[in-house]
Each structure stands twice: as structure tokens, then as C-alpha cells.
Structure 1
Amino acid sequence: MSLHSVSVAGVVVREDGRVLVIKRADNGAWEAPGGVLELDERPEDGACREVLEETGIKVETERLTGVYKNMKRGVVALVFRCRRVGGEAHTSDESVDVRWFTRDEVESHMVEAYAVRVLDALDAGEPQVRAHDGRRLLN
């Protein structure tokens, strides 16, 4: 039986449409804050915890916006659109920068496999199910 890792991420959307992103400490990539879901927590709670740990921003989830599988690593990510309810942005051990990106900045600064998570959360459609190789979407 193969094993999969489950991760969660929160796409925090501000009133002006900008989204909260971090520059990861381990690889320098811009991504929505997120990480591994713990065994004893609900996905929504895990997304809120990860955003708070990595950015200092307290959030509430609004809805699931997508399920994404990294086919090379066997990681399934559940991504939630969130809204800010408190806190002040700061870096952490896992983030070297925290910013509020526009849609255009997401498209130009993020790898496709991670940008699409943010773009799907910005769109009002149904949750998406997508596969990728860590950089590009797979059809």
C-alpha cells in the first residue's frame, strides 16, 4: 500500500483582492502559507494553524478551493480560501518574507503549480482537482 502525505494551505484574500504569500526559507519559492496536516486536526484547523505559524496572521477558512497532488512526491494538498481576523504579518523560521501580492504578481513570481492554487482561490468557481509535478500542471 502506498502512503501519501496530506498538506493544507490557506489563501488569505484581503478586501482589495491582494493575497498573503510567503517566501519559503527552505527553497526561496513564493507560495501560499501551508504545511503538513497533523494527525489530530481537521483540515480547516490545520490551514489556520499553518497561516498563523508562518505569517502571524490569524484567519478563518471560508471554503475549500482545490485539491492538488504532487505526482512526484505523493503529497496531496487541500487549499482553503481564508479571511483575516487578526494578527500582524511577520516572518518565521519557515518564511523569510511575507507580502500581499496582486493577481499579476502571483502569476509572475510563483511557480505554476503553486500559483494555480492562489488563482483558483481567487476565482469564485467550484473547487478544482489538479495534478502537478512540483512545477507544472499535468493534464
Structure 2
Amino acid sequence: MPLHSVSVAGVVVRDDGRVLVIRRADNGTWEPPGGVLELNERPEDGTVREVLEETGIRVSVERLTGVYKNMTRGVVALVFRCRPVAGAEQTSSESTAVEWLTPEEVAKAMGEVYAVRVLDALDTGNAPHVRSHDGRRLLESA
């Protein structure tokens, strides 16, 4: 029986409403910072670690905003809304750019399955969201 992989991502929101994103070094896409959750790690701790590694920004995790399953690859992503607490933007071996985007810029710069994660985290109403996708497009709920 195949196993799932679990990843985490942090949607880091500044007081002015801008969101921290990276341009990935491996494929050039814009995404919220994140990565694979380590076996001995709490999801919130993994989020803090991944954001710091990829952006140079230390964050405080506020709340879970969504669960997203890539049905093609078997990856389940937990996305947390965070706030910045320290650090300065810097790239890493995993990121070629680190930017603070407006929600409008997020919708234009990111592919659908990553933009929705950011926009869901900005939604103060019905969190957490649960969505499935094929790696490129959201799948309709049953």
C-alpha cells in the first residue's frame, strides 16, 4: 500500500497585508515557503523551520488554515497562517527570490493550487479549508 508524504507551508502575513513568498530554485514557481515535515517534528515546528530556512524570516504560527492533497503524488500539505517576528529576507539553496506580495499579486504570480493556499489563509471566515488537486488544478468536491 502506498504511503502519503506530509508537507507544511507558512503563509506569513505582515501588518500591511503583504504575504511572504519564494520563487523556487528547482522549478521557478512562486509559492509560500514550506517543505516536507520531518518524522520527529510537530507541524508547527516544521513550518517555523521551513520558513526560516527558505526566507531568513522567523515566524510565529497562528493557526491552521488549510489541508491540501495532491491526488497525483500523494502529498498532503498542512498550511498555517503565520506572522513575522524577526529576521531579514534572504534566499537559500531552495529559493532564488523572496518577496512580499499583495493578495492581487499572489493571484497573478502563482499557479492555482498555490495561490488558493495563500488566499485561503487570508480568509478569516471558514478555516481550515480542505481541498484536493491534481498538481495543477483544484478538483471539485464530491
What TM-score bracket applies, with the shorter chain setting the length?
Answer: over 0.9
Which secondary structure state, in structure 1, belongs to the residue aligned with residue 52 of structure 2?
A: helix
Which secondary structure state, in structure 2, belongs to the residue aligned with residue 138 of structure 1?
A: coil
**1:24 and 2:24 aligned:** yes
> 1:122-137, aligned counterparts within 5 Å?
122-125=122-125, 126-137=127-138
Whole-angstrom distance in 1 between the partners of 2:136 and 2:102 = 21
Displacement of 1:128 in angstroms is 0.2
Match of 2:8 in 1: 8
**1:69 and 2:69 aligned:** yes
Displacement of 1:2 in angstroms is 2.1
Task: State the identity as a percent.
Answer: 76
Task: Extract unaligned runs of 5+ from structure 2.
Answer: none
AA paired with 2:89? A
- 1:12-68 CA-partner distances (Å, limit 9, x unpaired): 000000000000000000000000000000000000100000000000100000000
Whole-angstrom distance in 2 between the partners of 1:36 and 1:77 = 9
Aligned length, in residue pairs = 139
AA paired with 1:65? T
Whole-angstrom distance in 1 between the partners of 2:134 and 2:114 = 11
Displacement of 1:82 in angstroms is 0.1
TM-score (norm 2): 0.97
Whole-angstrom distance in 1 between the partners of 2:60 and 2:47 = 9
> 1:1-139, aligned counterparts within 5 Å?
1-125=1-125, 126-139=127-140
Whole-angstrom distance in 2 between the partners of 1:26 and 1:96 = 9
Whole-angstrom distance in 2 between the partners of 1:48 and 1:11 = 11
Aligned-pair Cα RMSD in Å: 0.5
Whole-angstrom distance in 1 between the partners of 2:17 and 2:136 = 25
Whole-angstrom distance in 1 between the partners of 2:52 and 2:12 = 11
Which secondary structure state, in structure 1, belongs to the residue aligned with residue 35 of structure 2?
A: strand
Displacement of 1:135 in angstroms is 1.1
AA paired with 2:48? C
